[in-house]
Structures are given as structure tokens and as C-alpha cells.
Chains A and B, each alone.
Chain A
Amino acid sequence: MKPKTAIGLATVLLLLLAWYLATDVAGLIDRQRFPSLGDIWTAGAQIMTRGYAGGTLVPQALYSLRLVVLGFLVAAVSGVPLGILMGLSRRFEALVNPAFLLVRPIPPLAWIPLAIVWLGLADSAKVLVIWFAAFVPAVINSHTGIRNVDRTLIAAGRVHGASQARIVWDVLIPGAMPMIFTGLRLSLQASWTTLVAAELVGAVLGLGKVLSTAYRDIYPAMIAVGMITVALLGALTTKVLDLIERRVVPWRQY
């Protein structure tokens, strides 16, 4: 094991130990406000077997996961081509930019109230907000990706007699891929953040519902369980995206 990993692991274990000692053993911290490791374990067991706030952990997590993936895919499918088009054609960019610039500074979370006015507390409202959140980074990074393709590569393509379409397909888009994926990573992160927020505001089911119910019930251990689950799912989906990237963009140096 590399020394750096060993030190990191040791630190984490030490912190966990200190946490355990401070809460479960010595009772130094008010367990009403800060959950102990034991509490979290119990809460975790509870939600996995008996369920909480409307279901057991797996269905709740899957519910949230479904919304994130849906919103993310819609954003990717709509945002990446738009960004690419904006990168390819300055005219198109000039046309679309004003609308984009007006919408862009609005934080995605600020769309939640409007989405609720439009669609109520249904799933579609959440997907809409996730779409807004994930859309912007996808567009921007795809746009930048196309613009940043090394000019020499384009020249090399032209010199070989490539048509405009071929340059787009074989030079520009592959060249922009690394940045596109960076944008997708940001989109994924934004999707999770927005989902949690949206579900905190109003949800029937899902991890956000778990969090908000736990808050109302003053059940900090369950809050922790919810947070940990969100973090794990976030890490998992990011890993999946990374794997996809390695397949699609094998030439990137890591």
C-alpha cells in the first residue's frame, strides 16, 4: 500500500475512533444534536429493514437515483449538442447567447419555486430543476471544448483535404471530448446537489424526503444516514461516468 494511502486511512480510522469515543463511550457530545456512530448504525439498520419516511433505504435511494439519471441524461442530450453547435458556429452562438446569458446566472436552486408553481410537487418538477442545473455546465464546457481544440490539428485536417463535416466529426468533436466530459462531471455533481435541495423542499419519496423528515423528527442519526447515502451514490455515479469516459476517450492522459 502506498504510504500516502496508509496515512490517509490511518487518519480516517483515528477520526472515527475519536468520534466513537466522544459520543458512544464518554457521552461528551449531546446526542440530540450530533449523532454517535452507534446511533448512525442503528438508524442505518432501521431504514434498511423497517424503512423510514415512506420506504426502506433501497427503494428511496433508487427513487432519487432515477430522478438524477433522468435529469442528467436530458441535460446531457440537450446541452452537449447545443454547446457544440455554439462552438462550431459563431453566428449560432450570437443568436443563442442572449437567452443563455440571461438564464445562466440564475442559480439552479432558484428555479425550484417556479418549478413548483408550474408542476407542483410532482417528479416532473424535480426533473425540470435538475435539468436546469445540469444543462448549463454541459453547454459551457462543450462550447469551450470545441473552441479550445488545438488549431494545428484543424490545420492538419484541412491540409489532408478533409471536408468541413469530416473536420467536425473526426477532429473537433473528439478533440473536445475531454472538456465535454469535464462538463458532464460538473453536470452530474449539480444534478445531485439540486436533487437533494429539491427533495428537501418538497417530496413524497426519496433521499431528500428522508432528510427532511429526519430533520422534523429531530433524528440526527438518520440525517447522517441520508447524507452518507447521497455521498455514496454521488461517488458511484461519478465513477460510472469516469468508466464511460475511459471507453469513449481512451487517449486522454490521466
Chain B
Amino acid sequence: MAAILSAVRGRRELALLSLLGAALFFGFWQMLAISGLVSKFVLPSPGEVLIAALTMMVEPFAGNTIQGHVAASLGRWAMGFGLAAAVGVPLGLAMGYWRLLDAMVSPVFEAYRYIAPLAWVPFAALWFGTGIGGPVMVIFTGAFAPCVLNAYRGAHLVERHLVEAARTLGAGSVRVMAEVLLPGALPSVVSGLRVGAGLGWQSLIGAELIVVSSGIGYVLVQGQSNLAPEIVIAAMAAVGLTGLLIDIALRLAEARIRRRWGQTP
């Protein structure tokens, strides 16, 4: 009984500390903003940020409401990420299955990995102008690597005997990849998709800082050139929140798949 009580107390204590931490964070921020030590044009108070955010939900800023901008960004992200997954996962699995393919593609892949996704922006802009192809390409480059790598590693983790069993039962290569490697590697693949989704989202924001005329990244730039940090911070919060939701959704999917496959996390 005493043990349970102290555990509860421990839990309660931690929760209180968290609350305290949050309060300190916002409190400190508010104090700094009000104090006059920093100009209003540099650090707006939390309240001002909230007002800016709410306003942008109703009144269009830089062409659209904030939800509209987020939606535009999400659309691009979905396309780029979807493409990266559709190409990257099968490629990773195939590289895990065929040593020859692995040997051929690996060095090219390693070289590509070292190039920061954002470095592709000038080429993307050159090739696609301000069309949707540009950001999609940049997102693709950001999301591609984790999709391939995790599928590749996952395929290697699949026990050799399972692949051999499938082949001795008469399965051809395609069936082996689809019915043995993919399910076997699935936990790893989903983990890679989650990381790829996050990196894709980040690359999107980067691309939108540079070459677009809509989307939440554009809001960030406009807020900056208007010297309106409350808009910038509100947009940053929107970006962070959306990224967080994407991550949570994928984590839930990952947990469900692990449970179904009989591998309790």
C-alpha cells in the first residue's frame, strides 16, 4: 500500500513539476515581453501571438486564412511524401533482396544522402519554376532517404529462413518481396515512413521559405518581411503543431501494426 501511495505521489509530483515548467516557460516569456527590455518588434507576448493566430484564422493574410495556407502546404507534402514512399520502400526492399542491386545503387545513394535536401531547391526552381513540381521535388528528396534505408534494414532483419521457406514453397521473387519481405520489414518500414514524413515536412517548410507564393512557409516569410514577429511565431506554432499531429498519427499506426504482427512494443 505504501508503495502504491509513493508511486502515485511520485507521479503526481512529476505532473506538478511539468505544470510548473510550462508555467515558468510562458511566465518568463510574458515578463520578458512586457518588461520593455526587448522591443515589441522583436518579442511579442504570448497573448499577442495568440491574437495574431486567431485573427489569421478568420482574416486572410498573404492570400489565405492560416488554415488555407496549412492545407496548401499539406497538399504538397502529401504528394512529395507519397511519391517518396511509393518509390523508396520498394527500392529499399529490392536492395535488401538482390545483392547486385544493392551493390549498384548503394554508392549513388550514399552520395545523394550527403546533399542537403534544400540544396536541391535551386534546381527544383530552375526545372519547375513556381509550379507545384518544385516543392514536391524538394519534399521527395527529404523524405526519400529514410524510406529507402528503413525498408532496406527491415528487409535484412527478416530471417533468412523465412525467405528460404517461401522459395522452397515455390514463391517467385515478386511474391517473396510482397508477401515475406514487406510484412517482415513492416515495423521498420513504418518507422522509416514516420521519419520520412517528418523530414519531408521540414524540407517543405524550407522550400516554401524560398520559392512559393502560398502555404505556411510563405506566411513565415511574409511575416518576417512585414516585421511582424507575432505572425511569424503564430505560423511557427502552426507548423510545429501540424508536424506533431502527423508524427502522432504515424506513431499510432506504427503501434497498431506492431501489435497486429504479434510483436508487442
Chain B residues within an 8 Å CB radius of A238: 114
Interface residues on A, range: 35 or more
- Contact check, A94 vs B15: say whether CB atoms are below 8 A apart: yes
Selected contact of A7 from candidates B25, B103, B206, B239, CB within 8 Å: B103
- Contact check, B42 vs A109: say whether CB atoms are below 8 A apart: no
- Contact check, B209 vs A106: say whether CB atoms are below 8 A apart: no
- Contact check, A109 vs B205: say whether CB atoms are below 8 A apart: yes
**Complex formed: what's the CA distance from A25 to B237 in Å?**
51
Asked if A72 is at the interface of the complex by the 8 Å CB criterion, the answer is no
Chain B residues within an 8 Å CB radius of A108: 202
- Contact check, B224 vs A94: say whether CB atoms are below 8 A apart: no
Nearest chain A residue, comparing its CB with the CB of B142: A193
Asked if A12 is at the interface of the complex by the 8 Å CB criterion, the answer is yes
- Contact check, B209 vs A113: say whether CB atoms are below 8 A apart: yes
Q: Name the interface residues of A206-254: CB closer than 8 Å to any CB of B.
A: 211-212, 214-215, 218, 220, 223, 226-227, 230-232, 234-235, 238
Best-surrounded residue of B125, B220, B223 (most CB of chain A within 10 A)? B220
Best-surrounded residue of A109, A201, A220 (most CB of chain B within 10 A)? A109
Asked if A167 is at the interface of the complex by the 8 Å CB criterion, the answer is no
- Contact check, B103 vs A8: say whether CB atoms are below 8 A apart: yes
Known A-B contacts A7-B103, A94-B15, A107-B243; A114 and B229 likewise in contact (beta carbons under 8 Å)? yes
- Contact check, B233 vs A8: say whether CB atoms are below 8 A apart: no
Asked if B244 is at the interface of the complex by the 8 Å CB criterion, the answer is yes
Q: Shortest beta-carbon distance, A20 to chain B, in Å?
A: 16
Number of A-B contacts (CB under 8 A): 160
Q: How many residues does chain B have at the interface if contact means C-beta atoms less than 8 Å apart?
A: 60
- Contact check, B103 vs A4: say whether CB atoms are below 8 A apart: yes
Chain B residues within an 8 Å CB radius of A107: 201-202, 205-206, 239-240, 243
Asked if A11 is at the interface of the complex by the 8 Å CB criterion, the answer is yes
- Contact check, B114 vs A117: say whether CB atoms are below 8 A apart: no
Q: Name the interface residues of B104-121: CB closer than 8 Å to any CB of A.
A: 104-108, 111, 114-121
Asked if A95 is at the interface of the complex by the 8 Å CB criterion, the answer is yes
Asked if A17 is at the interface of the complex by the 8 Å CB criterion, the answer is no
Q: Shortest beta-carbon distance, A202 to chain B, in Å?
A: 10
Known A-B contacts A8-B107, A231-B114; A98 and B25 likewise in contact (beta carbons under 8 Å)? yes
Interface set of A (CB-CB < 8 Å, partner B): 3-4, 7-9, 11-12, 15, 33, 90-91, 94-99, 102-114, 116-118, 192-193, 196-197, 200-201, 211-212, 214-215, 218, 220, 223, 226-227, 230-232, 234-235, 238
A-B contact pairs, 22 of them (CB 8 A): A7-B104, A8-B103, A11-B107, A11-B108, A90-B14, A102-B240, A106-B240, A107-B239, A109-B206, A110-B217, A110-B235, A110-B236, A110-B240, A117-B227, A117-B229, A200-B121, A211-B119, A218-B126, A226-B122, A230-B114, A230-B116, A231-B119
5 extra interface residue pairs, beta carbon distance < 8 Å, beyond A98-B21, A105-B240, A200-B210: A4-B99, A105-B243, A200-B122, A215-B125, A230-B116
Interface set of B (CB-CB < 8 Å, partner A): 13-15, 17-22, 24-25, 41-42, 99-100, 102-108, 111, 114-123, 125-127, 201-202, 205-206, 209-210, 217, 220-221, 223-224, 227, 229, 232-233, 235-237, 239-241, 243-244, 247
